[in-house]
Amino acid sequence: MARVATQTAGVIQGRTAEWVRQSAIVVGATLFVAVCARITVPLPFTPVPLTLQNFAVLAVGMALGWRRGFAALALYLAEGAAGLPVFNPLGPGGVAQLLGPTGGFLMAYPLVAAAAGWIYQSGRAGFLRAVSAGVVAEAVLFAGGLGWLAMLTHSIAQAIRLGLSWFIFAEVIKIMMAAGWAPQLRRWTGTRG
């Protein structure tokens, strides 16, 4: 009887330790995105800044997989909505930033991370799969961001001019960076395919 109780306690302790570890990884991912959001360059011709935040979202999705990636970015949005300084510093912060010109991009982040994670973990992990995951995830990102901008500006052409045209080259670089780092990040976070 004592051995069963000891084994049960060991299993519970092991599960608790794993839950704490996974929670720490998800919270750490939100901090990584928040730090990358601070690396921002304002552009005078658009309300959408150039930021390293999108790279972080791709990297988190590929590193953590679709479930933890989605959870991390949903938590990130909750942190920002609560007023924590996690969004890029050029915006008003809080819920106002979620409702502003970059709100569509921000609100798409959980889906972007989930798409990147799901595609990357669905097959043999490699650079080309990571690039494919990044491209599809960026399509999700820009669908959300441009859709939101079109709603605010009442013009699809204006949304494309403000939210896409100036960013294509930078997004290609971000996809390549995330794809290059994905295998190392997955090993570090203990994510399996």
Distances in whole angstroms, Cα of residue 18 to Cα of each of 22, 52, 103? 6, 30, 34
pLDDT at 5 over 60: no
Q: Give the tokens for residue 177.
A: 């960076």
- Mean pLDDT for 147-157 is 97
Contact 138, 175 (CB under 8 A): yes
pLDDT at 9 over 70: no
Q: Chain-wide mean pLDDT for the chain?
A: 91
Angstrom distance (rounded) from CA 137 to CA 11: 37
pLDDT band at 112 (very low <50, low <70, confident <90, very high): very high
Angstrom distance (rounded) from CA 61 to CA 119: 10
- pLDDT at residue 134 in the model: 97
Angstrom distance (rounded) from CA 9 to CA 137: 42
Dihedrals phi, psi of 41, to nearest 5 degrees: -120, 115
Return the CATH fold of 2-189. Answer: Arp2/3 complex 21 kDa subunit ARPC3 (1.10.1760)
**pLDDT (tens digit, 9 = 90+) per residue, 72-107?**
999 999 999 999 999 999 999 999 999 999 999 999
**pLDDT (tens digit, 9 = 90+) per residue, 24-58?**
999 999 999 999 999 999 999 999 999 999 999 99
> pTM for this one?
0.89
- DSSP bridge partners of 41: 50
